């Protein structure tokens, strides 16, 4: 019997309606459209408005749309891996909440925390259950309500992040399409440069932690930028090299959307032309776990069976990685 690969058989995405423009940010903090555009490439981002709504509420329309597209019932899903840095709650897992909301009553699930690299960690993890023959349908969700942990008085972070969610279904493929390889890395010593200081077991919520604004994302931008440029580009080049892929062999680069300058540096290191690079940062900003599946969703109609696709990400923690997949269908 031929080897079973885990192939993406459907993708979908969802972004909330509210558009937070650079012009509106100019009214909140000392910044300018010119600065944001030239330093990051971002023009606007989406924000989930409304009381009592969390990351799972971004995932519900994305997942329901995916099920409809694929023509399957939620009860057919075996496993949900919810990659998020802004879970609905510390517990229960957002995967549980989502399973209940979409009626995935036969699935088990868990949340996966790897910041902006989460979707790559999730795809790689989910693929193991397909390749081993244990499961037939694994749903990998990547989404964040970043607005829930952003301080809109901090110009160094509030201009970057937005809310959004994407998802992909993994199923067995015996024709050789699907995930081919992945390289995933972590370096915990980078946590101090991009993370959230309070709210975990080390520093639970208190009046002091709230007064010190420690429940917001904290980023030392320049340091993160330097690590991101080097590591994301290196890992993308490494996965090409070890799979003997030239730039011509690569149909698409799907980079994490953190900063247009990081995306350009990665593409340049790989030798891949800009028209093969998925970029929607100008409309959504950095949706953390959502960026890569949102790109796949937006470009889905242009993807062809057999396309060699490289995914690459860098995120808080630090985490980074690259996944090489052969696209499995024409839509």
Residue positions annotated with a catalytic role:
116, 256, 286
Q: How far is the CB of 223 from ligand UT7 (least distance, A)?
A: 8
Shortest CB 116 distance to ligand UT7, Å: 4
The partner residues of 179 in beta bridges, in order of sequence, read 325
Name the DSSP class of 90: S
Nearest-5° Cα angle at 84, 194 to 260: 55
Minimal CA–CA distance to 63: which of 121, 132, 5, 142?
142
Q: Which is nearer to ligand UT7, 39 or 215 (CB)?
A: 39
> DSSP secondary-structure letter at 141?
E
The minimum distance between CB 219 and ligand UT7, in angstroms, equals 6
> Sign of torsion, CA 220 257 123 64?
positive
Residue 52: partners with Cβ closer than 8 Å, 6 or more residues away? none
Element (H, E) at 162: none
Q: What is the binding site for ligand UT7 (CB under 6 A)?
A: 31, 35, 39-40, 116, 155-156, 159, 221-222, 224-225, 228, 258-259, 262, 286, 314-316
CA distance 267 to 276: 9
Name the residue whose CB lies closest to ligand UT7. Answer: 221
For residue 224, the minimal CB distance to ligand UT7 (Å) is: 4
Give 40 or 173: the residue with its C-beta nearer to ligand UT7: 40
């Amino acid at each position: 019997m031929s080897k079973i690969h885990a192939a993406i058989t459907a993708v979908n995405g969802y972004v909330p309606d509210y558009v937070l423009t650079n012009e509106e940010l100019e009214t909140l903090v000392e910044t300018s459209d010119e600065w944001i555009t030239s330093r990051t490439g971002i023009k606007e981002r989406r924000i989930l408005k409304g009381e009592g709504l969390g990351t799972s509420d971004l995932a519900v329309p994305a997942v329901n749309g995916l099920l409809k597209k694929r023509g399957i019932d939620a009860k057919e899903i075996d496993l949900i891996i919810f990659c998020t840095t802004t879970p609905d709650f510390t517990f229960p897992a957002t995967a549980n909440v989502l399973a209940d909301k979409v009626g995935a009553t036969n699935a088990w699930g868990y949340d996966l925390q790897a910041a902006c690299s989460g979707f790559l960690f999730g795809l790689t993890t989910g693929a193991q259950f397909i390749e081993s023959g244990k499961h037939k349908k694994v749903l990998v969700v990547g989404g964040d309500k970043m607005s829930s942990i952003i301080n809109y008085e901090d110009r160094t972070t509030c201009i970057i992040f937005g809310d959004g969610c994407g998802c992909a279904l993994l199923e067995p493929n015996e024709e050789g399409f699907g995930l081919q390889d992945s390289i995933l890395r972590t370096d915990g010593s980078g946590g101090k440069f991009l993370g959230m200081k309070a709210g975990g077991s080390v520093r639970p919520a208190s009046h002091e932690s709230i007064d010190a604004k420690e429940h917001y994302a904290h980023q030392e931008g320049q340091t993160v930028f330097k690590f991101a440029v080097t590591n994301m580009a290196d890992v993308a080049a490494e996965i090409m090299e070890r799979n003997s892929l030239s730039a011509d062999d690569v149909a698409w680069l799907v980079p994490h959307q953190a900063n247009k300058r990081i995306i350009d540096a990665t593409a340049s290191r790989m030798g891949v032309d800009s028209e093969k690079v998925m970029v929607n940062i100008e409309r959504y900003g950095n949706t953390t776990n959502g960026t890569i599946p949102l790109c796949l969703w937006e470009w889905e109609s242009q993807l062809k069976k057999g396309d060699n696709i490289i995914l690459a990400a860098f995120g808080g923690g630090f985490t980074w990685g690259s996944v090489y997949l052969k696209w499995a269908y024409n839509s």
